[in-house]
Amino acid sequence: MQIPDELFEEIVEGTTKLLVPIKSITDKVPPKEPAFFNPKAKLNRDLSIIAYASFLKKFEGPKIFLEGLSGLGSRGLRVANELQVDNVIINDLNPTALKLAEHSAKINNLENVKFSEKEVCRFFSNYSKKGERGSIVDIDPFGSPAPFFDCGIRATMHGGILSTTATDLQVLNGLFQNACKRKYGGIPIRVEYGNEIAIRLVLGCLRMVTGRLGVEMKPLFVESDMHYYRTFVRILNRPDQEENLGYILHCKNCSNRKTALENVKNCDLCGSENKIAGPLWIGKIFEKEFVQEMLNQIPNFSVEKNCEKIITKCLTESDMPATYHTLDEIASSLKTSPPKLEGIISNLKEMGFLASPTVFCPTGFRTNANIKQIIEIFSN
């Protein structure tokens, strides 16, 4: 394929050269043709590189990266160029995207990259046998990743990492509840912390599929952005014995919220009716040791400065309870102006409660105090 200079441009992301369509950079919405590339997803790819480096630091098996929906291969090529991996296999149904990926591989002098043009589940099925699976498997579709969970899990080796992106935010945030139930097996509710519920629905769906396949998945790291949700989970070839699927109960009257294994109709504090989200993942969403290693890896890579701030917040909240509150939410109920985040966190800690900021919202905080206790502290 000839590469017309007027249609394509060479850029550098991380330390990797990428040939991309010029309109992907100049247009407000990157076009899907001739190949899709989203420059605004650089932070997503930066965090992926850091997460994969953290995983590889302690992984002793064959280091094989499988990318099912690669576009022009920006993530896979960065993995091949910036990480110590044995093989990278990039797959996409768009032949033009693959040609661009091949060209980018050549200008980076990469010899550990192979290319595949198959439907994504046919691609993953080629690597679903023991000894042929990937140690890192990536699924980054337009819309929902749920149709690819089964084949992606089967293509992930024992102890490997599966990362997925969801961009069907309206479905996961409660605008189309029936669609969410069909795709993810659970129902969201419209609340201030809807992005966390969305990620827990994705994790809950992954847990349902791994449970059916007789394997275990353990969340390592998650990411929430205006345009996507991304999850990183470890796949282990053993049945999951923990009770980690349940519900988030949110009181319509007082906004008290909690996680529970069972669907509970009424609020513990005021007796009013609960909104109920789920079934979804109610366990931890950050593995503290893994997130700490991500922080340690940052100096080794050329990534956005914001990565350190994001990962530091994730580490701070890694042991905190599920769901968060926002300053505006509490201030609105008291009809007062919101205080500073640092002040409320400090006051909660002084009263003996756990408290931390959250990466999910700049004015959000996590705590084990209930809503009545929070409002009392706000009022003082």
pLDDT of residue 5: 60
pLDDT of residue 51: 98
Q: For each of the chain's 380 residues, which pLDDT tens digit applies?
A: 556 565 889 999 999 999 999 999 999 888 888 888 999 999 999 999 999 999 999 999 999 999 999 999 999 999 999 999 999 999 999 999 999 999 999 999 999 999 999 999 999 999 999 999 999 999 999 999 999 999 999 999 999 999 999 999 999 999 999 999 999 999 999 999 999 999 999 999 999 999 999 999 999 999 999 889 999 999 999 999 899 999 999 999 999 999 999 999 999 999 999 999 999 999 999 999 999 999 999 999 999 999 999 999 999 999 999 999 999 999 988 888 888 999 999 999 999 999 999 999 999 999 999 999 999 988 87
pLDDT of residue 380: 73
As a whole number of angstroms, the distance between CA 83 and CA 105 comes to: 14
Centre a 10 Å sphere on the Cβ of residue 86 and count the other Cβ atoms it contains.
11
Q: What string of DSSP letters covers 254-269?
A: T--EEEESS---B-TT
- The CATH H-level superfamily of 8-246 is Vaccinia Virus protein VP39 (3.40.50.150)
As a whole number of angstroms, the distance between CA 363 and CA 340 comes to: 9
The pTM for the full model equals 0.96
pLDDT digits (tens, 9 = 90+) for 21-45: 999 999 988 888 888 899 999 999 9
Token output for 316: 């701070």
The sign one gets for the Cα dihedral 242, 244, 245, 246 is: positive
pLDDT digits (tens, 9 = 90+) for 168-210: 999 999 999 999 999 999 999 999 999 999 999 999 999 999 9
As a whole number of angstroms, the distance between CA 346 and CA 326 comes to: 15
Give the residue extent of every domain in the chain. 8-246, 324-380
Three-state secondary structure call for residue 66 = strand
Element (H or E) spanning 8, and its range? strand 8-13
pLDDT of residue 379: 81
As a whole number of angstroms, the distance between CA 281 and CA 278 comes to: 8
For the chain, how many residues are written?
380
pLDDT of residue 74: 97
As a whole number of angstroms, the distance between CA 80 and CA 64 comes to: 10
- The architecture CATH gives domain 324-380: 2-Layer Sandwich (3.30)
As a whole number of angstroms, the distance between CA 331 and CA 111 comes to: 57
CB-CB contact of 36 with 125 (8 Å):
no
pLDDT of residue 334: 83
pLDDT digits (tens, 9 = 90+) for 291-333: 999 999 999 999 999 999 999 999 999 999 999 999 999 998 8
As a whole number of angstroms, the distance between CA 266 and CA 81 comes to: 54
Strands 245-251 and 156-166: unpaired
